[in-house]
Every structure is written in structure tokens, then in C-alpha cells.
Amino acid sequence: MSLANAPKPLATVLVANRGEIACRVIRTARRLGLKSVAVYSDADADARHVREADEAVRLGPAPARESYLAIDAVIEAARRTNTDAIHPGYGFLSENAAFVAACEEAGIVFVGPPASAIAAMGDKSAAKARMESAGVPLVPGYHGDEQADEHLKAEADRIGYPALLKASAGGGGKGMRVVERSEDFQAALDGCRRESKAAFGDDRMLIEKYLTQPRHVEVQVFCDSQGNGVYLFERDCSVQRRHQKVLEEAPAPGMSDALRREMGEAAVRAAKEIGYVGAGTVEFLLDADGRFYFMEMNTRLQVEHPVTEMITGEDLVEWQLRVAAGLPLPKAQDDLTISGHAFEARLYAEDPEQDFLPATGTLERFGLDLAGAGLDAERVRLDSGVEAGDAVSMHYDPMLAKLIVHGDDRDQALATLNRALSALDVAGVITNRAFLQRLASHPAFKQAELDTRFIEHHHDSLFAAPRLDAQAYAAAALVAIDRLQDEANADSPWARRDGWRLNAPAAIRIALTHPAHASDDADSVAIVTVRAEQPMTNNDWHLHIGDDTLSGCLQRLDGDAVAITLDGHRRRLLARTERTTHGDTLILGDAQGETRLFWRRLDAVDHGHHEVDATLTAPMHGTVVALLVEPGQTVEKGTPLMVMEAMKMEHTLNAPADGHVESFHFQAGDTVGQGDVLVEFAPSE
Ligand code: ADP
């Protein structure tokens, strides 16, 4: 049945979102014969979702508050384009009851549940109380109204540690902290309240017993306005960092049919309890003993919905649009079956090596050559909101794309995921691609030994510094020398012809450190001594690393590509350099993946110990949230000095050594640019 003849006829749908989800909704809308309308902020005027929609309307300036979260602007855009229905995607206005009411008032269909259902689940505390009375099992904890600091502390002490603080209004892992000890409670509470206030304008908290080895298993439910409800099975989303999902799969490994039915039925009960309509997800923690506890219900389409689509063969956005048009669910429970296994990997612009710090920049390359990698297009799906040439800005979530694969069984799907991750070609912005590969090929993940602290538990094997040989260090040193030459040339333009070498000292020493060793002692630093032999005939350098001596040269090719020849063996690599708070970073990529090293040029005289940077610079554009120490106050290495916020997450800058802060250059509330000096730090002797 065409949606134009449905009880609530739909001809035009506006997507009040950006990035991959906007593109994904537009795709289905187009297939169903609907006209699609995109909306955009100034930062996104030329973004992919704008390019793909039939029409697009500007909302306002880059900050989400003034664009994607501006209810009036979105409603006005819908009016201007004769929109019948608004799809909110996830995040932004998707779970905003006031927005649903505004749609209703404007006579526009909201593709999602009624405002009352959003309100019932929007507040985690209230939702828990309601689910408790409906007989859905809960994690032991406190979700009351009394919010005084001392009261919350007393409740946490009663529940016991580790305890988990969560923002009542929270979502997306924000405003959430594990508290290990009673002494740490107040600091964690302050941080959570700040983050929650900033993200949700609300700082009420709830506390739960922190389960130490649970799995995150969630059930996809769907209800129509005729009172039908079904579950489309479960997803396991246990692999998380900062309480945010990284790898998801469906079905959840090791589920018995009985448990699947029990959880599915509990989820449908939860949805019906609140008069739910549309797509929703009921999240549970599944304990090792097979008991499950309600965590929350997300009243929208989830990021990870494609794994459910892969195993059921259904298009969930189509289901959403049909239900929004007043049609009944396309299928009944007994008509739904699971076929094979699916994974989703989330590609983030972030640096796993630096505690998953979000990254910005311009994507020089972005693509997946399926045919080249021998992959079946039916089995691999790349849901992306970006293309090569696009900028990744500080304003929005750092997720770039999702890679989704399907296989006949888990092993086959996992093999496909690994192959597809290798074939994903991204350059220009730091991403977690290589980290995803390490996760997807990790023996414990292969064995489906899952729990929500998977990344923490396997930290050492996931982040182990690779054993680099003299060749790798020599290649890195050649790139470093190349950059030093560049700098020298930039300083004196007329020296370009002669180059830097004429004035260069006879030997230059480059220190290279793997990020996994950055805080370790001097033993983990590789020092390469580079000599230009006189007279120079063939551009060769002599490189000494420990007992090894190699001769080599670097030739620049297109873009980031370089050819490095060492003792007559030439290899093509991609080489980039970046500046971070931890130092200058060098990134070398080849078919096997990337190697990242910190590098610096050592002075002629080496003092034999690490120098500590006397300044701390902003790792990215953002806002200063709080200064945590007084200038002059003596601190130990690792003490938090200040908190910044960027890309909707807080980041703490820690003391690089024992010492004291000489001065802060910014106050709370100030905006800072990447590389700005934030703190003058004086290490003690
Ligand atoms: P958000 O809405 O911010 O995503 P959730 O309440 O859904 O927050 O929790 C996110 C993740 O945090 C869960 O997937 C799980 O890994 C972890 N988590 C939440 N509650 C608990 C708990 N009580 N014990 C252990 N882990 C938890």
C-alpha cells in the first residue's frame, strides 16, 4: 500500500538530523516514493545529507542549540516545504516530548512514539519506578527525588561499591561515572552533575549497583497504533568505551530460545505499559547467571538498528514510516525469523591511543572498495554521513560511519567484518579503524566472551605496543627528517634551493616513542641517529639505531604517499604528522594498518632524562569547563588540572609530572582553539 493513500497520507518527510542517519532515512524515503527534506546548520551547508535530499532548509548557526535542537526552526522548515512527517533520527530532538507536542500543534506527523511515552521513559528515575510496578526486573539502586549531595552519598554507601552514578535525564553515556570508593563519591558527583547540566540542562542523579561482568543485551520492539506489538529479537552491545557502544551484533551469542522469548516478551510488556507506538529498544543488563535487568527504554531508532535489519530482512525505517502513516505492523510475531548473524562496527573520528579523544580535520580519503576486497555487496553495508573532502568539525558527535556485515553464522560474519575493516580506506582524520580491527580479531571476541568492560579487561592486549624493528624506526626517522627540512625551508624561503642540509649538523638525533609507552621510562624510547654522509651523492642518509646501521632515503609521492628505500628495499607508505598535547605524532600506514609514534628532535647534548613539557595545549577546539587546582598549588603527576568539553564529552587535562601550575590562560566558559596554550606548568626537580 502506498503511503500516499494511508490513513495519514504521507508524501513528504523531513529528517531533523544530520550525518549517516539522515542519509539512511532519506534512502528509504526515496525507495517508498516520498520526497525527502534535509535540514542543516551553517557547518553542514555542503554536508552529504544535504546533497542527497530532494530539498534542504537552513536551520541556523553551527551550534546544535541554534540549529538541530531549535524546535521552532525545524517546524518552520517543515512548513516551508509542505512536510507531512518529521523523522527525528537518533539524538538531537528524537526523545524530546516538547518537540513531539510542537509537531502535533503544527499538524505534522512525528515519526515516533506519542509524547506521553517519551516522557514516561525520558526520565530514567521515573521510568524505573514505572517498570518496577509493571513487574520488569531492575538493578538494585536509588532513583528517588531527594537529591541532596549527602543523601545521594548515603544511598551509594548503602548500595555499596562499585556504584554507578547516572544522570536521570541522561543518554549516550553522558553524565555517567563508576565510583569505586566512598571517598571518590563527591568528586564523581560533581563531574556528573556538570556534564549532565551541560548536556541535558538537568542535574538529577540516580545510583545503581555496578554489576561487574554483565552483558548489554537489548531488544528491538515495534508497536502500531492498532495495539499490536512485536519484538525483532535482540542485539548484544557489550563492547563499549566510555559506556558508549563500539561493536554490536545480532543475535546475541549463546541465547537460548527460552531466554530470547522471555526477554522479548518482557520488552513488549514494557512498551505496552506506556502506550508505545513505533520503534523502540528496551535495554537490559544480562548477568552471567542468565538473569536480566531492565536498564532503560530508548524511544527512537537506535544507531545499531542495521544489525537487526540484516538478520530479519526488514527495513525498520520503512516500518516506522508505515506505522506513522497509521498502517498496522507489516508482520506478526510468528512471521519474524532470524537468519544468520550480523555485526556493526562504529567508525569514530577519535584516537583510541589517547583515551578515545575526539579528532577533527578534513577527510582526504574515505571509501570502501568492495569488489577490490572480494566482498559481496549483499553482505556488507557502509552507512555513512561523509565522503572524501568533507570536514569533521567539533560541533557534533564524532561518529563518521557504521560498517555492517552479514554472514551465515557468527564466524563467517566476523571474518567478513575483519576483511571489510581492512578494506576501509580513511585518511586525513584520526579514526578508530585500526582499533576496531584489533577488537574484531581479538581471540576473546572470537570466542564471544563478552561483557560491558570487554575493552578494559583486554586493555593490555588491545593496546600493546607493536614490536617495531630497526626498519620501522628508520622509516619513521626519515619522515621526521623530511618534516624538519620542510620547517627549515619554510623559515627561510631563499634557502629552499640549497635545502636545509647545507647548514645541518653532521648528525641529528630523533627520539621515537610508541603511544602505549609514552608515560614509561626512557628505555622505551628509540633513538635514531641520522647522518648525512659528505659529499652527498644520492640523497642517502645513514641511520644508526642501536647496533644497526641502514642507509636510506625518502621520496615524496602524491598526497601523503612516500616511498622509503632502506638498503635497497623500496616500500610505499602513507605518512602524516600531527601535533597533540602529548607531542608531535607521526603516522605511518601500509596495507597492514597504521603505526603511530611520538617523535622529537633531541638537542646536541642529551641530558639523559625526559624533559617535561612546560605547557599544556588544547587537544582540540572546545570550551573550558572547570579549573581544578589553584596556581602555585603543588600537585602530583596525573592530578587533574582542568576540564574541557568538546564534542559533547568532558576531557580532563592532567599534570604531566610532579610540580605546580604557574598560570592558567583561560577561565571556565572560555572557548579555546586546538593548540592554544592552556596551562603553564612547572615540573619540580
Ligand atoms: P545511556 O542512556 O547513557 O546510554 P545506560 O543506562 O543505557 O546509559 O547505560 C549505558 C551502559 O552503561 C550500559 O550499556 C552498560 O554497559 C553500562 N551500565 C549501565 N548500568 C550499569 C550497571 N548498573 N552496572 C554495570 N554496568 C552498567
What per-residue confidence (pLDDT) applies to 610? 41
The more confidently predicted of residues 516 and 475 is: 475
Ligand 1 nearest-atom number relative to CA 295: 6
| CB of 238 shorter than 6 A to ligand 1 | no
380-384 β-sheet, strand order: 292-298, 278-286, 215-223, 229-241, 244-250, 341-348, 399-407, 380-384
| CB of 173 shorter than 6 A to ligand 1 | yes
Ligand 1 nearest-atom number relative to CA 452: 16
H helix count then E strand count, the chain: 17, 39
SS3 state of residue 669: coil
What per-residue confidence (pLDDT) applies to 613? 56
CATH number of 13's domain: 3.40.50.20
The more confidently predicted of residues 441 and 583 is: 441
CATH number of 193's domain: 3.30.1490.20
Reported confidence tier of residue 504, pLDDT bands at 50, 70, 90: very low
Contacts of 530 (CB under 8 A, 6+ apart): 477, 478, 481, 507, 508, 509, 510, 541, 542, 543, 544
* Distance from Cα 243 to the centre of ligand 1, integer Å: 6
- C-alpha distances (whole Å) from 105 to each of 110, 140, 366, 495, 620 are 11, 40, 42, 69, 41
Measured distance CA(568)–CA(572) in Å, rounded:
13
Do 441 and 358 lie in one domain? The reply is yes
Q: Is 129 among the domain residues?
A: no
Mean pLDDT of the 204-228 span: 95
What per-residue confidence (pLDDT) applies to 587? 85
Do 417 and 516 lie in one domain? The reply is no
Contacts of 450 (CB under 8 A, 6+ apart): 215, 236, 238, 239, 253
What per-residue confidence (pLDDT) applies to 650? 72
Q: How many CA atoms lie within 13 A of 576 on its CB side?
A: 19
C-alpha cell at 196: 549532565
What per-residue confidence (pLDDT) applies to 79? 98
Do 304 and 327 lie in one domain? The reply is yes
**Which residue has its alpha carbon closest to ligand 1 atom 19?**
295
Do 263 and 398 lie in one domain? The reply is yes
| CB of 171 shorter than 6 A to ligand 1 | yes
pLDDT tens digits, 119-136 = 999 888 889 989 988 888
Q: Is the pLDDT of residue 284 over 90?
A: yes
558 contacts 427 by C-beta, under 8 angstroms = no
Reported confidence tier of residue 580, pLDDT bands at 50, 70, 90: low
pLDDT tens digits, 445-474 = 999 999 999 999 999 889 877 778 888 999
pLDDT tens digits, 518-527 = 554 455 678 8
Q: Is 119 among the domain residues?
A: no
Q: Is 646 among the domain residues?
A: yes
**Which residue has its alpha carbon closest to ligand 1 atom 14?**
216
What per-residue confidence (pLDDT) applies to 499? 35
Reported confidence tier of residue 614, pLDDT bands at 50, 70, 90: low
| CB of 472 shorter than 6 A to ligand 1 | no
Q: Is 645 among the domain residues?
A: yes
C-alpha cell at 90: 537518533
**Which residue has its alpha carbon closest to ligand 1 atom 6?**
295
Ligand 1 nearest-atom number relative to CA 176: 3
C-alpha cell at 262: 522471555
Provide Rg for the chain, Cα atoms: 27
The more confidently predicted of residues 18 and 527 is: 18
What per-residue confidence (pLDDT) applies to 502? 37
Last residue of a domain, one of 209, 238, 268: 209
What per-residue confidence (pLDDT) applies to 582? 62
* The overall pTM is greater than 0.75: yes
φ/ψ (deg, to 5) at 555: -125, 130
Last residue of a domain, one of 65, 92, 111: 111
Do 648 and 595 lie in one domain? The reply is no
Measured distance CA(404)–CA(407) in Å, rounded:
10
Mean pLDDT, the chain, integer: 88
What per-residue confidence (pLDDT) applies to 525? 76
What per-residue confidence (pLDDT) applies to 527? 84
Mean pLDDT of the 255-282 span: 96
**Which residue has its alpha carbon closest to ligand 1 atom 12?**
243
CATH number of 633's domain: 2.40.50.100
Q: Is 244 among the domain residues?
A: yes
Do 437 and 320 lie in one domain? The reply is yes
580 contacts 518 by C-beta, under 8 angstroms = no
C-alpha cell at 375: 566482498
Q: Is the pLDDT of residue 654 over 60?
A: yes
Do 183 and 220 lie in one domain? The reply is no
Mean pLDDT of the 622-632 span: 87
Last residue of a domain, one of 463, 497, 526: 463
Do 293 and 442 lie in one domain? The reply is yes
Task: Give the containing element (helix H, strand E) for 580.
Answer: strand 569-580
**Which residue has its alpha carbon closest to ligand 1 atom 23?**
210
Q: Is the pLDDT of residue 612 over 80?
A: no
450 contacts 239 by C-beta, under 8 angstroms = yes
Q: Is 564 among the domain residues?
A: yes
Task: Give the containing element (helix H, strand E) for 597.
Answer: strand 593-602
CATH number of 426's domain: 3.30.470.20
Ligand 1 nearest-atom number relative to CA 283: 7
Do 199 and 226 lie in one domain? The reply is no
Ligand 1 nearest-atom number relative to CA 238: 16
Least confident residue range of 253-262, 342-351, 619-628, 662-671: 619-628
Do 297 and 442 lie in one domain? The reply is yes
Least confident residue range of 483-487, 533-537, 585-589: 533-537
SS3 state of residue 69: coil
| CB of 266 shorter than 6 A to ligand 1 | no
* Distance from Cα 586 to the centre of ligand 1, integer Å: 36
Q: Is 130 among the domain residues?
A: no
Do 362 and 509 lie in one domain? The reply is no
| CB of 390 shorter than 6 A to ligand 1 | no
What per-residue confidence (pLDDT) applies to 496? 32
Reported confidence tier of residue 607, pLDDT bands at 50, 70, 90: very low
Reported confidence tier of residue 153, pLDDT bands at 50, 70, 90: very high
Mean pLDDT of the 508-528 span: 71
Host domain of residue 573: 470-601
Q: Is the pLDDT of residue 412 over 90?
A: yes
What per-residue confidence (pLDDT) applies to 488? 67
C-alpha cell at 241: 568505551
What per-residue confidence (pLDDT) applies to 524? 66
Supply the DSSP symbol for 151: H
| Residues with a known catalytic role | 300
| CB of 164 shorter than 6 A to ligand 1 | yes
**Percent of the chain with pLDDT strictly greater than 90:** 58
Mean pLDDT of the 644-650 span: 71
Q: Is 567 among the domain residues?
A: yes
* The total number of structural domains that make up the chain: 5
* Distance from Cα 140 to the centre of ligand 1, integer Å: 13
Strand partners, 576: 587
Q: Is the pLDDT of residue 4 over 70?
A: yes
| CB of 365 shorter than 6 A to ligand 1 | no
What per-residue confidence (pLDDT) applies to 615? 65
Do 238 and 190 lie in one domain? The reply is no
527 contacts 510 by C-beta, under 8 angstroms = yes
